[in-house]
Chain A
């Protein structure tokens, strides 16, 4: 993903992370309000805000003469998606195993085989005896 580098760079500064915290806690706050929380010059804070905007971590909206700031979590969501697929796969297969084990136990000695693929048998099982609960 071409812009991921910009996201990590932007998050690499404690000042910029603090700006994100401030904006997240107060969506729609103005540049001036953010700048007032820092000892450095307004110009310096505006520069950091620009870096965050270029990384898409901040979205700004003009409202009259003011610029309101909003935290945008999408770049972080995409980093999450990028590295958690294997984890999700593991989690999904375990949940599926658990469901099949619980079902085969409650179905008694019918010897229901344990599905491995989360998609396996979903439709069929819905018609089963747990109708009231499962369906």
Chain B
């Protein structure tokens, strides 16, 4: 699956939105990125802002700041195969062309469904965040709702204690 948008902003700002660890990534479901570095093999954990739940785990495949970030991933809520996501940033006269590609997603899985909905959401939200400084209103409300009822809907397998930030990335259990 491919999701692409042209963002009016600097390539560094776009890069920061998908790699920053000092605050939640508003473009990516308001998740907070935990990682040890950007070297290939380094683990990534996407966690709720309060750190209690880990939604996505992965391992860096390639990082070429500020042009390319590629990592494996899986949703902790599902016992499904790993897939791969790649973010590509390219400067054009119109702005930064931002492309999110997912590969090796098994058709028909819950992962596939989430990726199909999540890809355009992430890319569209990132554009708004870089250009306007915040996500669209509907998305902000959605995030407020996550905080409110998310914990009620999150399975216990997603608790961060099951998904420590350490090598190897696949050390967690579901």
Flag A108-119 by CB within 8 Å of B: 1 or 0 each.
000000000011
Partner of A95, one of B5, B136, B137, B145: B145
Cβ of B144 under 8 Å from chain A: yes
B119, B137, B138 — most chain A CB neighbours (10 Å): B138
Cβ of A73 under 8 Å from chain B: yes
Cβ of B81 under 8 Å from chain A: no
Cβ of B155 under 8 Å from chain A: no
Q: Give, as a whole number of angstroms, the nearest-CB distance from A85 to chain B.
A: 4
Flag B114-130 by CB within 8 Å of A: 1 or 0 each.
00100111011001100
A27 contacts across to B, CB distance below 8 A: 1-2
Q: Interface majority SS on A: helix, strand, loop or mixed?
A: helix
Q: Give, as a whole number of angstroms, the nearest-CB distance from A92 to chain B.
A: 4
Cβ of B3 under 8 Å from chain A: yes
Cβ of B142 under 8 Å from chain A: yes
Say yes or no: A74 contacts B5, CB within 8 Å. Answer: yes
Number of interface residues of A (CB under 8 A): 31
Say yes or no: B138 contacts A88, CB within 8 Å. Answer: yes
Say yes or no: A133 contacts B145, CB within 8 Å. Answer: no
Q: Can you list 25 contacts pairing A with B, beta carbon distance less than 8 Å? A: A59-B2, A61-B2, A72-B2, A72-B3, A72-B4, A73-B3, A73-B116, A73-B119, A74-B4, A76-B120, A81-B136, A81-B138, A81-B139, A87-B138, A92-B144, A92-B145, A95-B145, A96-B148, A99-B148, A99-B149, A118-B144, A119-B144, A133-B152, A135-B52, A135-B151
Chain B residues in the interface with A (C-beta under 8 A):
1-6, 52, 99, 116, 119-121, 123-124, 127-128, 136-139, 141-142, 144-145, 147-149, 151-152
Chain A residues in the interface with B (C-beta under 8 A):
27, 56, 59, 61, 70-74, 76-78, 81-82, 84-85, 87-89, 91-92, 95-96, 99, 118-119, 122, 126, 133-135
